[in-house]
Amino acid sequence: MAVSSSQLVTRLRKKNVLLLCHENADLDSFCSAAMMQRFLEKKKINAFVGVPSHINEHAQSLALREKISFYLNPNLPVFNAVILFDFNHLEQMGGLGKSFEALMKCNCFEVFAFDHHVPEKGGIVHGNNAIISDKCVSTTQLVRNFLDIFKNSEVDFLNCLGIMEDTGHFLVGDTESFASFASSLKHSGRSFAEVLAFTKHNLKEDERIAFLKAAQRAQILKFNSTIVVVSELSFYQGPAASKLLDFGAHIAIVVGQEKNELTVLSARADSEFKENNNFNLMKHLFIPLQEKLGGAVGGHSGAAQWKGKASIGEVKRVAIEILKKRFP
Report percent pLDDT > 70 for the chain: 99
Kindly state whether residues 195 and 209 are assigned to the same domain.
Answer: no
Kindly state whether residues 223 and 257 are assigned to the same domain.
Answer: yes
Kindly state whether residues 131 and 251 are assigned to the same domain.
Answer: no
At residue 175, the 3 state secondary structure works out as: helix
Rg (CA), the chain: 19
Neighbouring residues of 285: CB distance < 8 A, sequence distance ≥ 6: 251, 267, 304, 319, 322, 323, 326
Q: Is the pLDDT of residue 261 over 90?
A: no
Kindly state whether residues 174 and 211 are assigned to the same domain.
Answer: no
Q: Which of 176-180, 242-246, 298-302, 323-327 has the lowest mean pLDDT?
A: 298-302
Q: Is the pLDDT of residue 71 over 80?
A: yes
d(CA 134, CA 194): 27
Q: Is the pLDDT of residue 153 over 90?
A: yes
Mean pLDDT across the stretch 30-40? Answer: 98
pLDDT for the residue 2:
87
- Which band of pLDDT confidence, cut at 50, 70 and 90, is reported for residue 121? low
Kindly state whether residues 41 and 162 are assigned to the same domain.
Answer: yes
Check: CB of residue 195 under 8 Å from CB of residue 203: no
CB contact burial 275-284 (16+ within 10 A = b; e otherwise)? eebebbbbeb
CB contact burial 5-36 (16+ within 10 A = b; e otherwise)? beebbeebeeeebbbbbbbebbbbbbbbbbbb
Nearest by Cα to 159 from 85, 87, 89: 85
Kindly state whether residues 209 and 194 are assigned to the same domain.
Answer: no
| Domain end marker among 199, 221, 239 | 199
pLDDT for the residue 247:
93
Q: Which domain holds residue 320?
A: 205-326
pLDDT for the residue 120:
67
pLDDT for the residue 299:
80
Kindly state whether residues 159 and 260 are assigned to the same domain.
Answer: no
pLDDT for the residue 1:
76
Please give the model's pTM, rounded to 2 decimal places. Answer: 0.80
pLDDT for the residue 274:
92
Q: Is the pLDDT of residue 109 over 90?
A: yes
Q: Residue 224 maps to which CATH number?
A: 3.10.310.30
- Which band of pLDDT confidence, cut at 50, 70 and 90, is reported for residue 69? very high
Neighbouring residues of 234: CB distance < 8 A, sequence distance ≥ 6: 256, 257, 258
pLDDT for the residue 5:
95
* DSSP label of 283: I
Q: Is the pLDDT of residue 288 over 70?
A: yes
| Domain end marker among 199, 228, 245 | 199
At residue 115, the 3 state secondary structure works out as: strand
Kindly state whether residues 286 and 300 are assigned to the same domain.
Answer: yes
pLDDT for the residue 256:
96
Kindly state whether residues 114 and 213 are assigned to the same domain.
Answer: no
Mean pLDDT across the stretch 243-264? Answer: 92
d(CA 61, CA 206): 19
Phi, psi of 221 (to 5 degrees): -120, 150
Neighbouring residues of 99: CB distance < 8 A, sequence distance ≥ 6: 76
pLDDT digits (tens, 9 = 90+) for 175-219: 999 999 999 999 999 999 999 999 987 778 988 999 999 999 999
Average pLDDT for the chain: 93
Q: Residue 150 maps to which CATH number?
A: 3.90.1640.10
DSSP letter string, 21-70: EPSSB-HHHHHHHHHHHHHHHHTT--EEEEESS-B-HHHHHHHHHHT---
Kindly state whether residues 194 and 280 are assigned to the same domain.
Answer: no
Domains contained in the chain, number: 2
Kindly state whether residues 235 and 128 are assigned to the same domain.
Answer: no
d(CA 27, CA 164): 9
| Domain end marker among 165, 199, 233 | 199
Kindly state whether residues 175 and 49 are assigned to the same domain.
Answer: yes
